A and B are shown apart, each in its own frame.
Chain A
Amino acid sequence: MNFFNKRLLLVTFACFIPPTNAEPPFPSSYTAPEHNPTLITNATVLTGDGQRLEGASVYFVNGKIVEVTDTAPEVTANTQVIDARGRWVTPGVIDVHSHLGVYPSPDVDAHSDGNEATAPVTAEVWAEHSIWPQDPGFGRALAGGVTTLQILPGSANLFGGRAVTLKNVASVSYQGMKFPGAPHGLKMACGENPKRVYGRKGSGPSTRMGNIAGYRAAWIKAQDYRDEHAQYAALTREEQKETKRPKRDLELETLAGVLDGEIIIHMHCYRADEMLTILDLAKEFDYKVGTFHHGVEAYKIADELAENDVCGALWADWWGFKMEAYDGIQENIALVDRPDGSCAVVHSDSDEGIQRLNQEAAKAMSRGVKAGLDIPPERAITWITSNAAKSLGIEDQTGTLAPGKMADVVLWSGNPFSVYTKADHVFIDGVHRYDRLNPELQPVSDFELGQLLEAGE
């Protein structure tokens, strides 16, 4: 291997070649069943890319959006038509931060599968391997209009493991929910959690500087690993026969995937100063931070986030539960949204919040307007649709109602920015997956089936 110029190889083979076969393990087995063409008419439509149309129609066929128009489109005879007069349509809601399945209901110790809190670097674990598909929370989120969600490991570790993006379709397996083609995420965590967990164990890190040293040590190993494998992959078959194949390491494979731009970083980070440190860290090791999650102080560095093309996935009003959450303000999302090129996202991190992300966005919108910012509903909806899709690297497939995109659609009983509004109908890849008034179109998890029968309910 020494006869190769490492630096040159890096340039030539910028794209990391997986060390084994190309078929990703644990592949998605989700396929959408067929559905009738569907036309929703007379709706107020928020397209997810900043437009609002009145009295408009949304038409989707074979799982894809055909058109959104304010004239009546030509449709086929077998089309299901829904008159949405007085009601609103948006793209399916996307939650970029959920622990459904890995911290499910019921919240019993036996279900506590979200943090592999045994070492500060566990990039080798995958959240999908902890998901219990029978978590009743998935169905509740569907009733709140959620069509896509990312399940992450917890934040005990510097590197918590891979996150997975799911379609919110009831299935006996996570494979049956996996969003086809969505990139993996890698959960990382700043601040109090890792230093508290490992400080108590006495193994470290026990300080913020220890956290940073831990990230750097891991990235150095990852760079070497990536180079070693890239060099091997670049050899001719003859040369490979004469060279020892480098060993596969699941932890470093994940980190190398980040360095090669195939895995998106989702970083739990509250404080403004820490987020800026992380942006410098990313420059040192030439990787990209996709999204800061929680970012209770993100409003202090809104310009820097936009300049670095980093999303901020934030709560509308959480604060004060720990020191790094002390400076939370309700205008956080609106201020992060303000600069050109921003990517503000409303996330839940909660089995309750995921059921009403539309209301969380409403609260954030209202506080921004109160502070004097111009945020119409067609803008605020991007926080839980197109910006969230961008955060997950699936913006070409979903997140807006553009023709050709997945027909992930919610028909709301009214203005979605109201506490009184409910999702009436939810479509995923065009398939009618939820109907508020039809119990036959409301999924029930195995766990809830047959409970409280003696109560006569």
Chain B
Amino acid sequence: MKRLLIGILIAPSAFADSLLITNAKVMSMGPMGTQHGVSVLIEDDVIADIGTNITPVAETVIDANGAIVTPALFAGATATGLVEVNAVRESADGSMKDTKDNTVQVGFDVRDAYSPLSSVLGVTRVEGFGYSLLMASGGQYSVAGRGSLVDFDGGFESFNGNDVLFVDVGGYAADKVGGSRAAHWMLLEGIMADLKRRSSELEYLSSSGKEHLKHITKNGVFVFSANRAADIRKVISFSEQYRLNSVIAGGREAWLLADELAAVDIPVMVNGLDNLPSNFDALGSRLDNAALLHDAGVQVLFTSGETHNARKVRQGAGTAVAHGMPHEAAIEAMTTAPSRVFGGRARALEVGNGADMVIWSGDPLEVTSYATSVILKGEVTSMETRQSKLLERYLPEDAGLGRAYINR
């Protein structure tokens, strides 16, 4: 394999905080489409110009050498910054348990537990990911809690977009909540009825919970985890009834309802690798789910179901393309679309938009490709992680005094 050489030149003087990427194949995901051999000028944290006639007067110049540049990728719904090691409970904050009200957790907001200094964030970012949907998880609750988009720029409060409420309406959650999916929908109807009750008469929600729910119902997004076609159908009617802005997560059998989902404009967030009847909710799992949904006009998003290995979501999107989804649609589903769906900022590579982009060694959806530079908010981010440090320590064949001394 040939390694791509990308030279980074630091010019002695020019603008402060300016960066020029030259000779790029820009997949803009915006009106300019895909263009070869263009330059991208970034000033501060904004794209100042894209084109062929940019004079290189920037402080830093990166010759992309023909490589693909895309907007920064969406890592899917993850617990990045909420968990360091899954099985180390004190390091995991993605779900709650043992509270007095153990089914409805509108008040639980995972953003309060977010730490951008987690090693997981850097490990994910260096693979080309710029943001994620910070997710409240917990299959044993009806309503798992709230989150939102978060940027991987290292800020403690780099949240953006609308408030997102996570509700699992699958068979496993129903069994925990009320023994039946019907009981679960009865509960959800009751919760919505609380919105019309006075504070002293609330049956399911706390008064602060009611305020949160009211806010999300008006301005936020509901993410319903549902795989079975019948459950997805119920989400559609529930969302129509209460005029909710909804997204389906999982959606193993969503292809069976592709036209209906398209008609009501409900996006579906899938794992492109799902193709097994993992349980009775997922008998219809198939690798062309994303392609069928896209063909019908449904907005597809991708997630991997993982946090530490969220980088694997690229492989799922690539697999969706291998099974019929157009390549550009998959890139859009991994870059600009999630931000649009969850109310975040515009992420296409266009003049005036924020400068979040990635330079790739090859096709961004190919398993042998990797990010060579990740630029977030105009900054070329560090490619060093705990894992790159471990590699540096164990790559040399001579350990000298011991690996512990290889510690730059």
Contact = CB atoms under 8 A, between A and B. Distances in A.
Interface of A: 105-108, 136-137, 140, 192, 299-300, 317-323, 325-331, 335, 351-352, 355-356, 359, 362-363, 365-367, 369-372, 417-422, 447-448, 451-452, 455, 457
B275 interface: yes
B367 A417 contact: yes
Contacts of A370: 3, 361, 370
Contacts of B120: 320
A422 B322 contact: yes
Given A106-B277, A351-B276, A300 B322 contact: no
Given A419-B365, A420-B321, A192 B87 contact: yes
A420 B318 contact: yes
B367 A300 contact: no
Contacts of A330: 387
A329 B321 contact: no
A321 B390 contact: no
A421 B284 CA distance: 23
B283 interface: yes
B308 A335 contact: no
B3 A369 contact: yes
Nearest to A137: B276
B308 A418 contact: no
Interface in B203-226: none
A107 B278 contact: yes
Task: Give the residue among B88, B256, B367, B387 with the most A Cβ atoms within 10 A.
Answer: B367
B242 interface: no
10 contacts: A319-B308, A321-B86, A322-B85, A326-B85, A352-B274, A356-B315, A363-B368, A419-B366, A421-B322, A452-B256
Given A331-B391, A417-B367, A317 B312 contact: yes
A418 B367 CA distance: 6
B86 A329 contact: no
B85 A321 contact: yes
A318 B306 CA distance: 10
Q: Main secondary structure on chain B at its contact with chain A?
A: loop
A320 B85 contact: yes
B1 interface: yes
A140 B284 CA distance: 14
A331 to B, nearest CB: 5
B347 interface: no
Nearest to B393: A300
B277 A448 contact: yes
Contacts of A320: 84-86, 120, 307-309
Given A106-B277, A330-B387, A331-B391, A366 B368 contact: yes
Contacts of B308: 318-321
A419 B275 contact: no
Interface size class on chain B is 35 or more
Interface of B: 1, 3, 84-88, 120, 123, 229, 256, 273-280, 282-284, 307-309, 311-312, 315, 318-319, 321-322, 361, 365-370, 387, 390-391, 394-395, 403
Contact of A359 (B1, B315, B369): B315
A362 B368 CA distance: 6
A299 B87 contact: no
A323 B229 contact: no
A328 B322 CA distance: 28
Task: Give the residue among A192, A322, A329, A421 with the most B Cβ atoms within 10 A.
Answer: A329
B367 A455 contact: no
Nearest to A326: B85
B1 A366 contact: yes
B277 A136 contact: yes
Given A365-B368, A420-B322, A106 B279 contact: yes
B367 A362 contact: yes
Contacts of A319: 123, 308-309, 387
A321 B87 contact: yes
Task: Give the residue among B88, B278, B321 with the most A Cβ atoms within 10 A.
Answer: B278
B277 A451 contact: yes
A370 B388 CA distance: 12
Contacts of A136: 276-277
A105 B367 contact: no
Contact of A327 (B319, B322, B390): B390
Contacts of A417: 367-368
Contacts of B366: 418-420
A455 B284 contact: yes
Given A108-B280, A455-B229, 7 more contacts: A105-B279, A106-B282, A140-B275, A330-B387, A366-B367, A367-B370, A417-B367
Contacts of B85: 320-323, 325-326
A337 B312 CA distance: 23
Report, nearest first, the 10 A-B pairs whose CB atoms are least far apart. Answer: A320-B308, A419-B318, A322-B87, A366-B368, A105-B276, A321-B86, A420-B322, A329-B387, A362-B367, A419-B367
A447 B309 CA distance: 31
Task: Give the residue among A140, A448, A452 with the most B Cβ atoms within 10 A.
Answer: A452
A1 B368 CA distance: 63
A355 B365 CA distance: 18
Contacts of B123: 319
B367 A329 contact: no
A299 B394 contact: yes
A42 to B, nearest CB: 23
Contacts of A419: 315, 318-319, 321-322, 365-367
B394 A317 contact: no
A451 B367 contact: no
A105 B278 contact: yes
Contacts of B277: 105-106, 136, 447-448, 451
Nearest to B279: A106
A422 B321 CA distance: 12
Contacts of A105: 276-279
A299 to B, nearest CB: 5
Nearest to A196: B87
Nearest to A335: B394
Nearest to A363: B367
B284 A106 contact: no
Nearest to B229: A455
A115 B318 CA distance: 34
A300 B403 contact: yes
A371 B391 contact: yes
Nearest to B87: A322
A192 B365 CA distance: 35
A46 to B, nearest CB: 15
B277 to A, nearest CB: 5
B328 to A, nearest CB: 15
Contacts of B365: 419
A455 B256 contact: yes
Contacts of A356: 273, 315, 319
Task: Give the residue among B84, B275, B311 with the most A Cβ atoms within 10 A.
Answer: B275
A356 B272 CA distance: 13
A418 B87 CA distance: 33
B218 to A, nearest CB: 36
B88 A323 contact: yes
A48 to B, nearest CB: 20
Given A106-B278, A351-B276, A369 B315 contact: no
A329 B387 CA distance: 6
A105 B120 CA distance: 30
A119 to B, nearest CB: 23
